């Protein structure tokens, strides 16, 4: 299995508040996820709901870059990331080491 990178969604990959805008605000350069997904298994650990993540994937086309089993949302783990629960879920999913990229110390 490829090494794993988990991303936070809101504030790291994009601004969720801008999802309905004509030009949403993205924090990841075009081609970055494609390049990374060639070498790494990509996942998301987010406080957003599964429905919000689905909406992001539908509007961005990013779904193809992420491993379905590595998508952890508030729907599956309602506890905030600062509690550590979402990260324990990630550890249960994959026993190998992973990197988390977020926009705050809570990530």
> Which candidate, 28, 26, 49, 24, places its Cα nearest to that of 37?
28
- Give the separation between CA 67 and CA 97, rounded to whole angstroms: 16
pLDDT digits 0-9 by tens, 29-75: 989 999 999 999 999 999 999 999 999 999 999 999 999 999 999 99
Helix or strand (DSSP H, E) at 92: helix 85-93
The backbone torsions φ and ψ at residue 99, rounded to the nearest 5 degrees and listed phi first, read -110, 140
Does residue 95 carry a pLDDT above 90?
no
Q: What mean pLDDT comes out for the span 12-18?
A: 94
- Give the separation between CA 36 and CA 40, rounded to whole angstroms: 6
pLDDT for residue 85: 93
pLDDT digits 0-9 by tens, 29-39: 989 999 999 99
């Amino acid at each position: 299995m490829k090494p794993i990178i988990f991303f936070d969604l809101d504030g790291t990959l994009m601004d969720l508040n801008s999802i309905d805008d004509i030009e949403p605000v993205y924090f990841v350069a075009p081609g970055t996820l494609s390049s990374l997904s060639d070498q790494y298994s990509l996942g998301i650990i987010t406080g957003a709901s599964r429905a919000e993540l689905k909406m992001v994937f539908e509007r961005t086309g990013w779904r193809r870059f992420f491993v379905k089993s590595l998508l952890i949302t508030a729907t599956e783990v309602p506890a905030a990331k600062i509690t550590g629960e979402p990260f324990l879920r990630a550890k249960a999913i994959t026993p190998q080491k992973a990197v988390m990229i977020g926009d705050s110390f809570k990530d």
